[in-house]
A = this chain, B = another copy of it.
Amino acid sequence: MPILVMKFGGTSVADLERIKNAAQKVKREVERGYDVIVIVSAMSGKTNELVGWVEETSHLYDAREYDAVVSSGENVTAGLMSLTLQNMDVPARSWQGWQVPLKTSSAHSAARIEEIPRDNIDAKFAEGMKVAVVAGFQGITDEGRIATLGRGGSDTTAVAFAAAFDAERCDIYTDVDGVYTTDPRISTKAKKLDKIAFEEMLELASLGAKVLQTRSVELAMRFNVRLRVLSSFEETDENSGTLVCAEEEIMESNVVSGVAYQRDEAKMTLVSVADRPGIAAAIFGPLAEAGVNVDMIVQNISEDGRTDMTFSCPTNQVARAEQAMTKAKEDGEINFHGLVADTEVAKISVVGIGMRSHAGVAAKMFQALSSEGINIKVITTSEIKVSVLIERKYMELAVQALHDAFELENAG
């Protein structure tokens, strides 16, 4: 029997009605001939309630107890989903992480999946079970304690099961109906993509398209698991949603697949830094220690042994960055004349694997922005993306202009 993995997030199982709706989608796949592994999140709101209790109890809490408490939300959904399926005459049973067992590292609250032995679930499939409903986000350590996987854990659980069971596909049901060329709230011309390559999805995810957690896409890419993102709240069929897959599976890649943005960026410039070997480490070491997530980095050409160093980070980390730099200066580790923070910028990126074989994407991007009178403050490029920082007030305009320039209304 071919195996399909289906994952339902918190809003998709928020109450009994929605669990029933999700179960109907599962039943349809069983009728199509699949053995199904369903990964469920906690009913929305439940995890927050549990986390709230733990945090109110203790500030510096034991992560093992945190995990024991928080994992219970998924267990409840798994049982209820299994009962709902049984009610529809679909042979189903629930599995908590330790019952599978999904083995993890002992990094509680942020554990890595180490192994998913197939034996137990395969044996039940052989006995006639059609659906294994697995509580997502959790596993068991070598010490026999429950560990949760941290942010994005349920998506990651789903992909890991798909890899372990050689699933035909891993369907991620969520509250959007796929991956779009850009945010439909910003451009009404935004188009749902039928397919997107793993690499593109990674760039889009880390750039703020919050459909899939980066971690699960990385895992899918590594094990070549075909991921599909689709809506739990609409009628869906074999062609719904967006397929995230290997580049080879996409016949004719778009040069550009999407336009992403990050609203709350800040641009910081260290003016006239003494340019010497090791200066980058002397700057970005202390920033990393201070917990500043540095994104873009640009170094100007050196003049008279001094240079300007510009980087971007989230606006709410500016104070922290300033503190770290001032301290590094006082300690004599770096030397600069001034520190200029511009907190009114946004980042815009165009992403597409087709770029590799098409020159001129960056030029076309700069031209489109220039036509709208938008000034570019910082540029960085990678193999499949070009990112720029611009004044925040032009952000929406820039996204729309770029969406038009690359004719993304014809994508899909």
Would you call B79 and A69 a contact (CB within 8 A)? yes
Of all chain B residues, the one with the shortest Cβ separation from A15 is B53
A121: shortest Cβ distance to chain B, in Å? Answer: 12
Q: How far is the CA of A225 from the CA of B19 in the complex (A)?
A: 45
A80 touches B54 (CB 8 A): yes
- A83 lies within 8 A of chain B by Cβ: yes
Count residues of A near B (Cβ-Cβ below 8 Å).
35
Shortest Cβ distance from A61 into B: residue: B83
Pick the residue among B66, B69, B80, B98 that contacts A57 (CB under 8 A): B80
Interface status of A387 (Cβ within 8 A of chain B)? no
Partner of A86, one of B62, B69, B144, B145: B62
Residues of chain A in range 65-107 having any CB-CB distance to chain B below 8 Å: 65-66, 68-69, 72-73, 75-76, 78-80, 82-84, 86-87, 93-94, 96, 98-99
Check A50 for interface membership: any CB of B closer than 8 A: yes
* CB proximity of A245 to chain B, nearest CB, Å: 35
A76 to B98, CA, bound (A): 16
How far apart sit A109 and B145, CA to CA, in the bound complex (Å)? 25
Which single residue of chain B is at the shortest CB-CB distance from A19? B57
Inter-chain contacts of A68 with B (CB < 8 A): 75, 78-79, 82, 94, 96
- A56 within 8 A of partner (CB): yes
A94 touches which of B65, B75, B98 (Cβ 8 Å): B65
Query: Considering the chains assembled together, what is the distance between the CA atoms of A73 and B56 in angstroms?
Result: 18
Q: For A16, what are the chain B residues with a Cβ–Cβ distance below 8 Å?
A: 53, 56-57
Contact (Cβ within 8 A) B65 A76: no
Q: Which of B54, B75, B87 contacts A72 (CB 8 A)?
A: B75
Residue A192, interface by CB 8 Å? no
Return chain B residues, CB-CB under 8 Å to A65: 79-80, 82-83, 86, 93-94
| A58 CB–B CB distance under 8 Å | yes
Answer whether residue A64 sits at the interface, using C-beta atoms and an 8 A cutoff.
yes
